[in-house]
Amino acid sequence: MKAQLKPKQKKVIKMIRLNKFISDCGIASRRKAEELILQARIEVNGKLVTTLAFSVDPEKDVVTVDGEKIKLKNHVYFLLYKPSGVIASTIDEKKRKTVIELIKTKEKIFPVGRLDYNTTGVLLLTNDGDFANFVLHPSNHIPREYEVKIDKPLSEEDEKKLLKGVFLEGGRGKFESLKFTSKSRKFVIVVSHEGRNHFVKNMFQTINYTVEKLHRSKFDGFNVNDLVPGSYVKLSEEEIKHVYEKYRF
């Protein structure tokens, strides 16, 4: 009896959206990748692409950003204790030191969100645009904890305002919790799900307080308790997976 030959399996071509491909290459988040496409900075196989719905074959298509070829990279994740006097960006027009210069890696990474020039504490960096988008998206309600020093004692009335909500540019904001670490009521620990730029400072400024010192002590379960300013650790895939599992639903 002749052995039956199995039909030849056709190779499945896995096409992915162009913005996701750019993100997976570590260039930018998907949202930023869309901006690059619309700015006519992306070419596929030598042809300019400005359509957001465009898909590519990662194994065959050649994608360039500003004429430079990009390719899929292994994702890396870092937890940095950001020191004061360093810019949380990939480049700086004023040539000031950036957080990228503090981390030794061959991968092209970027900070997840921003911390102000003189703000210290937890900062995540990666080349995984999807992860960055996930942890920053307000719908996922990922908590950030900040240690704050303000210029004068916070009144009970203003404390209630911050917890109930105040109106900022870009929409209403509030702290999820607030507690004092001294009797002076000038040292406060606040928790927020917000990721808007200058959010904590703007919250206090709206009710006429000035933040004199700001330290992000936690981002979800990540903290810098075992680090010194300017130092960092590489995070494992398991730690990143845990974040997805915790907040995905």
Q: Report which residue type is found at 81.
A: Y
Band of pLDDT at residue 1, cut at 50, 70 and 90: very low
Q: What is the per-residue pLDDT for 29? A: 80
- Alpha carbon dihedral 39, 101, 242, 192, in 10-degree steps, equals -80
Model pTM score? 0.75
CA distance linking residue 90 with residue 83, whole number of Å:
16
Q: What residues are labeled active site?
A: 116
Instruction: Please give the average per-residue pLDDT across 140-153, as a whole number.
Output: 97
Question: Domain ranges in the chain?
Answer: 16-70, 77-137+223-247, 143-219
Homologous superfamily (CATH) for 143-219:
Pseudouridine synthase (3.30.2350.10)
Instruction: Please give the average per-residue pLDDT across 83-108, as a whole number.
Output: 93
Report whether CATH 3.40.50.150 matches the domain 77-137+223-247. no
- CATH number attached to the domain at 16-70: 3.10.290.10
